[in-house]
A and B are shown apart, each in its own frame.
Chain A
Amino acid sequence: MGERTKFFSVSLTQGPKPRSRRSTATRESRYWRSFKNSQLSSNLFSAVSSLEFSPVSPNDLAATVSTSLLLFSGFESLSPKPFSPISNFSDVAYSPSYRYDGALVAAGGQSGLIQIFDPINKRPVLRRLRAHTRPVRVVRYPKISDKAHLFSAGDDAVFNYWDTAAESIVSSFPAAHKDYIRAGAACPVSPEVFATGSYDHSVKLWDIRANECGGSVAEFNHGSPVESIMFLPSGGMIATAGGNSVKIWDVYGGCRLIHSMDSHNKTVTSLCNGKILNKNSDLSVESRIFSVSIDGYLKVFDYSTFKVTHSTKYPSMLLSVAASPNGFAWVVGSANGVIYSAKKKEGKDKDEMEIDSNSGKSISLFSIPSEVKTNTVLKPSSHRYFTRGQGEKPSEDDYMVKISPKVKLAEHDVLLKKFRHKESLVSALNGKHPDKIMAVMQELVLRKKLIRCVENLEEEELGQLLGFFPRYATVLNYSRFLIGLAKKVLQIRSEDIKKSDKLKPHVKNLKRVISEEIKIQNSLQEIQGMISPLLRLAGK
């Protein structure tokens, strides 16, 4: 009451509105989507069998592709290091593993040889560990406070614990599993505890300190060949991948199955631990499980709510995944040698940078000295002099004069407001926005001006209108209106269409589209005829 009526711009009134895509995306999904995707070329065409980020800044990346170990610099571009690839392998290389301080990287191979390299400088191979007789698919350094040891396991079902400096085995567990050991992980809280997964469906936990009682402290059955295994950051839970499912186990609670995630359609090949950088609270860094599968999907799994929060499709089979410990990037390796990387966009958010500097893991690139504000007197030579005072906040006792916000109207709305109907229609047709065109046409019908507009259209504009028909005349929401209009237009302007060579193809197009639609409708009716007796029978 008391207000003059507000202005409505024309809008399509007919038909249900298409569901906006955005409504389905969660906040987290938007976060993951904000990462910028790119490809790292490996110059090779065989599978990227394994990927690993260095645990220390700047988080270099190690990847094993075919017979070589690729190293990428962790600075924002992920460019290959000058001495990469390291191709000291006689056969296929597997499972690169960084020592917890990032100073060494170990990798196994098809031949059963484990080699240790310096990932920072170009140096010859530092150590060669020979014991396995079959390919070594698992080589892992402990995650904390142990520089001297690593463990390995291979297709010979042997689990070895090495003293790397002496190139000697500390303890060996032959026949640790009954089949190939293809997965292994080191506990993030204890340097002596490891987990291995094998093709015999079982997962075993090893504690080196319990050497005399056979090493294995726990065993549980995944249910299908284990492809990948991973400790969750707390160390109390293990995620295992095998078959189409990822299972989460509670180790402390007697290796109890907590949850099974079955959202992949094909074998899950690799797991890793990812982090979300929370903009608002820098302390709570949430972590997620990244899983990749042969079906080409990367899924992000929130294990606190047991929900898949994001999934991305890649064009090829995925074999390996790794996420940067600082949460700024993840990489996935595909079966055809391409490494897809996703990096957080260099946000202009100062907050994020502050988080980085606080957590001490900042990527060197982002460290920008904070600006020191100085109270300089503005001079008429600067632009700011002329805009001074515009950002001033009002004080409490100031009288505020409200400026009514200016309503921005589309061109066709402005023209409709001025009752320039034909121009409005042409403007909408130029806009190539089918909803807008329909809305303008419906508004013109309500004003009883559409037919006159059609009569007055120039040849070129008529061509635009006729070009609009074949594309949208069979769209569900528009067809009722457009088919009636098209008929009318052809009636009114038949003379012009006959004369003009430009307009004829449009009509031909329309004819083709309509006959196609009739065919579809006929076949649909046939199907309906077939189904309806069945439904009636089912109803009884």
Chain B
Amino acid sequence: MITGGENLVSFPPSFSNDSKKLLVCTGSTISVFSTTTGLLITELEGHTSLVTSIVVVPVETAAVRVACFCWTASLDGTIRYWDFSTSELVKTIEINHPIYSMVIPNVASSLFGSKSGKQSKLHAFISVECFSKHTYQHEGLQGQIHICDLTHSRLVGGILTETQKPESIILSPSNEYLGIVNKRRIHIWSIPQREMNFNSIKMIKLHHTKTFKSLAFHPTERIIAGGDVTGRILVWRVFGSKTFFGKKRISEGKHDDDADSSPSTWHWHSSQVNFLAFSSDGTYLYSGAKEGVIVVWQLENGIKNFKPRFGSPLLYFSESVDLSTCYVSCADNQIHVLKMPQMEITKTIAGIKLPFSCPEINDLSSTGFAFDRSSGLIALRAENYYVQFFSLFNNLELFQLQVIQRNYQPVDDVTIIIHILALSSDGSVMGTVHTTLPEEDVGGSTTLKFWSRVSSAEKGYNLSTVIHEPHREAGISAVVFHPNNDIAVSTSHGGDFKVWVHSTSKQKQFVQKYGWRCQSIGSYKKKPLSAAAFSTDGSVLAIAAETVVTLWDPLTNVLISIIGDTSARITELCFVGSSGYVLTTCQGSEPKLTLWSLSNLSIHWSYKFAVESVSCIEDGSFFAVLILIPKSIKPNKNFQDGFILLFDVHQPVPNATWSVKKANGGRISFIQDRESEGGQGQSPMLAFINAHHEYIIFDPFNNRKCLISRKTLETNSSLEKSDFGYASIYGELPEFDLKKDKIPAISYMSSERPWETIFSGSSHQLPSMTKLCTSFFESLLEKRPSVSLE
């Protein structure tokens, strides 16, 4: 069983101390990625729910840089302490409330303080969601901030504050302040430096007319920056003089604001500010929002620089400890590692593309997935007109392909939709259909593109043919490929289908022209066609025309026969292996799964299921369906809303069932693991990808669990050695040769009377006194003729 497709950008990741590793919250595990190779090194498994925050224990000296400890908090209500170099769990603290955010002030000093016995108390500030009956429950306040004594594993003190929902806590780099955003206010607490006393924690509030979304503390000075939903950034220069330091303020504000001056406001972003971060020397402020642009503000004067074209909304940003690298998390499930002063992308940790909302085009079914069964690949559409090829077995992005040559603006409305992706059975040809939406009936078009793989060894596809408006005004409902030949079929809602062939004309003297051209056009009673499928040997083409299935010979374009009536429009169509059965599914008010026998052209059996997806084994009589539990039945506690059923065509009783979560919008497919050791004899695996693009691969014919494990690449462990700190900026220092720096010893002759020669030479190059003495005294001694005269 393989799982994968985690969301890498749901919570902010964290750098390790040597900034060679990046700890990323991936579901209920913590994945440790290498920043130099961008590959997964190890995973910390133990939490049972989403991991929300990671605090890496910083180290002071280079000697202990190898120490890799971190605290993690999760929605399962535990805080765990890990050694992530060996991926061992060291300690678990139960809190019993889902933790949304955790910060630990002075985490480094307390680590080594524990040895000396002083300052041994380590406190964590956690933001939890409180479900329990509470007096404030009726106000809808569910987020609470607690203090947790990590050394004694218990909550101390009371509740710092309550918010409507759990907010993420920001710790100032100087470990002095703590802040959260709470609607139109920023709450700041000062942390007592010596003794953690709940009553000595003071709080101030900063007010604004808009809802805050992000917050950042200046590393050295008392400056705080907050970003709001409208894209404004507010910077308070000095705050908390009165409350924290007891000083008198010069001017009284309207509110109980404890800022010495009104904030300066910067406005560039057009939507809510997702992150704010000060550079570690405090000169710059980084901000990012939906535009996909990192804005670098000079704190002194507000002059801004831009790092544009990340192509996706930016979510989180942080600098590493040694300032050489930083990461930025993008909403398209990518974490870019940037080399710092230049802000160039050095590596990208790319997860599976996340689902995105796109406007529904009338009666156009959107299939944003395509499985390459032979190699275990999945092709997914991304919002920025890319198609991502993702290896399911390795949980790794292979490559991306830009389908539409246009600049993607994350802020714009979606007006171009890739609504069909289709791969041929060997993955050598890809078909994409994209539709541009009209603006008040002006413009708008449908384009079909055929892509051919560069070569089987390399990755990447080349654009082969572009067909504009393949079915006139009508939208395309499906594109399928012939299993053996270079034939494709596209069906349209306008009532016709077209057979496309790949022509390779190698005429003499002419440049070779490869391209797809239309071979024949067919239609059945002008009915809108909704689905198509080739039989396994490619001899029969089945096309669904509203409620009937029409069978065609794809080569001669002759209608062979028609199979009977379903109650509703057919949405999916599929041949069950070579068994001579056709499977149709209907959706809508009367969902139905029907199995038709080709031998007598009648219904074999049927079910009243709302089928989301079907997949058939290529050779054999098995097929799997993903069905949704009807809404009339209450979902069970685990939020499981779907089932995968495995059928044999010969009996209408499922062979096996599995219940799954988030089935609505999911897909299943049988895939063959070609690279595995078993080779041809292995039975195909079943892959299920859910609406959140998390997937699982399992063997449907074998109930044993964990039959196959994810193949981790061997290259992971061999980390590239990279410079950091001084060396990363100035390069390696030349090797100091201590001997070379010494004054070269003056050679002198040991004559019988050395004092005549030892002082010859320039005065500043006199030999050292010890050398002089020994030679002088040596000369005084009577010398024995030691060398034999031979």
Question: Which A residues are within 8 Å of any B CB, using their own CB?
Answer: 1-5, 7-8, 11, 13-16, 441-451, 481, 484-485, 488
Contact = CB atoms under 8 A, between A and B. Distances in A.
Contacts of A14: 445, 468-469
Majority SS of interface residues in chain A? Answer: loop
A488 B440 contact: yes
Pick the 9 closest A-B CB pairs, nearest first.
A445-B443, A4-B309, A446-B415, A445-B439, A5-B311, A484-B442, A485-B442, A448-B439, A2-B345
Given A1-B399, A1-B400, A446 B406 contact: yes
Contacts, number: 83
Contact of A484 (B348, B397, B443): B443
A442 B436 CA distance: 10
A307 to B, nearest CB: 9
B300 interface: no
A1 B436 contact: no
A5 B383 CA distance: 13
Interface of B: 38, 308-311, 336, 345-348, 350, 384, 397, 399-400, 402, 405-409, 412-413, 415-416, 436, 438-445, 447, 468-469
B230 to A, nearest CB: 18
Contacts of B415: 445-448
A11 B466 CA distance: 14
Contact of A448 (B309, B399, B405, B413): B413
B383 to A, nearest CB: 12
Contact of A450 (B350, B406, B442): B442
Contacts of A8: 405-407
Contacts of B310: 4-5
8 contacts: A1-B350, A1-B397, A2-B345, A5-B407, A13-B405, A445-B436, A449-B439, A484-B443
Given A5-B384, A13-B405, A448-B413, 15 more contacts: A1-B348, A1-B350, A1-B399, A2-B345, A4-B311, A5-B407, A11-B405, A13-B436, A15-B468, A446-B412, A448-B412, A450-B442, A451-B439, A484-B438, A488-B441
Contacts of B402: 5
Contacts of A2: 336, 345-348
B500 to A, nearest CB: 16
A50 B347 CA distance: 75
B443 A442 contact: yes
Contacts of B438: 445, 484
B444 A445 contact: yes
Contact of A7 (B309, B348, B413): B309
A7 B408 CA distance: 9
Nearest to A417: B407
Nearest to B310: A4
B777 to A, nearest CB: 53
A72 B293 CA distance: 72
Contacts of A443: 406
A437 to B, nearest CB: 13
Contacts of B447: 13
A451 B400 contact: no
A110 B444 CA distance: 74
B442 A445 contact: yes
Contacts of B400: 1
Contacts of A7: 309, 407
A257 to B, nearest CB: 23
Nearest to A491: B440
Contacts of A481: 442-443
B590 to A, nearest CB: 37
A80 to B, nearest CB: 44
Contacts of A4: 308-311, 345
B508 to A, nearest CB: 12
Contact of A447 (B399, B412, B440): B412
Contacts of A484: 438, 441-443
B502 to A, nearest CB: 18
A108 to B, nearest CB: 44
B5 to A, nearest CB: 18
Nearest to A10: B406
Contact of B436 (A446, A449, A451): A446
A448 B439 CA distance: 6
Nearest to A305: B509
Contacts of A449: 439
Given A446-B406, A446-B415, A5 B440 contact: no
A447 B439 CA distance: 9
Contacts of A3: 345
B281 to A, nearest CB: 25
Contacts of A450: 439, 442-443
Contacts of A1: 38, 348, 350, 397, 399-400
B442 A488 contact: yes
Interface centre among A1, A16, A441, A447 (most CB of B within 10 A): A1
A5 B439 contact: no
A279 B447 CA distance: 46
Nearest to A1: B348
Nearest to B444: A445
Contacts of B439: 444-445, 448-451
Nearest to A11: B405
